[in-house]
Amino acid sequence: MDKGDRPTDGDESADRDERNRSESATAHDGGGGVSDELEDEASDGAGGDAPDTEPEAGSRPEAEQSGEPDRADAYDGASHGADSHDEAPRDGEDIATKAGLGSTRSSDGDPDESFLYRFRHDREGALMWIREMLSSVAVVLLVGLLLFGVSGVWPPMVAVESGSMEPNMQVGDLVFVTEPGRLAPDAAENGVGVVTHEVGQEVDYRTFGSYGSVMIYTPPGRTGSPIIHRARFHVTEGENWYDRADDRYHNAVDCESLANCPAPHDGYITLGDNNGAYDQASGLSPPVRAEWVNGVARVRVPYLGYIRLVATGQVELNEAIARTVGSSLSPASSGFSAAG
């Protein structure tokens, strides 16, 4: 071929350009997806950090020779570390959760708090009965303290033990008492707030079904319960009170034959409403000095005194029940309210 017939470099470039335009047009018309994938692969390949040469067999990587861990091992270690890091929070969360549950259990499941909760909210079982019993005792104590504040004497209530004051006070009555001088009526012209039967008739002062005040007193040497009787009249030291006495309540013929006459000291002549003799005539007590008076009876509550009498063994339970429902049994033994 002559030199003039050889294709020139320009012709070859033109042919190549024409083929490229043809392929590009074809790819644009129907093979765009393939072209895109090829372009993506080309770009990935172009942007990758693949090494130009592979290390020779048997040679150690530079990082390994320098004491640094292999990148793959480091990646595995990092992955393992990440896993460990993931597991640690999970364990920590478990621990925290357990700790939280533990703290919750320690507060909710604490024996003391659990017991207190059950003690306050149980509606059956032993704890309920204990709670109700303690509540009742607390109410009684609270009422007792309030009454003590009003009465000024402890105990502020006493139980009638004998029938010496019947029918105005019955065995088993609970009587509210005030200290001497407290809540004293105008008719009481003394420091103990006692109105005698004699004065009560003159001023029409009544308590517990008759004239005068009912007082609680303890004479010297008495080992039993205090006595709850009515004050009949007051005498002075050396007084011959025979003529003032009602002969229904003694069997003496003169002062010399009447016990405690003349009066050994100032004091009250007393009598149980159901008794046949003055306390001083029967020898139960000398005239009651003011300092022997423990209190003055104000109000009685039927039957509640049986609780104390049964608790102290002075009255049997069946007897208390029988008396409460009105059965007639033998009277209780003399004690708090002495029978003359």
pLDDT of 309 reads 86
DSSP 149-190: HHH-SSSSEEE--SSTTTTTS-TT-EEEEE-TTTT--TT--S
pLDDT of 15 reads 59
pLDDT tens digits, 222-262? 988 899 999 999 999 999 999 999 999 999 999 999 999 99
Per-domain residue ranges for the chain? Answer: 115-151, 157-320
Please choose, from the candidates 222, 149, 192, the residue with its C-alpha nearest in 3D space to the C-alpha of residue 297.
192
Residue type, 14: A
Q: Is the pTM of this model over 0.75?
A: no
pLDDT tens digits, 125-147? 787 888 888 888 899 888 878 88
pLDDT of 124 reads 78
Please choose, from the candidates 306, 294, 151, 303, the residue with its C-alpha nearest in 3D space to the C-alpha of residue 226.
294
pLDDT of 288 reads 97
Q: What separation in angstroms does the CA of 44 have from each of 24, 38, 48, 51, 188? A: 21, 10, 6, 14, 120
pLDDT of 21 reads 62
pLDDT of 156 reads 85
3-state secondary structure of 239: coil
pLDDT of 212 reads 96
pLDDT of 24 reads 54
Positions of the chain with pLDDT under 70: 1-113, 119, 326-340
By the 8 A CB rule, do 121 and 131 touch? Answer: no
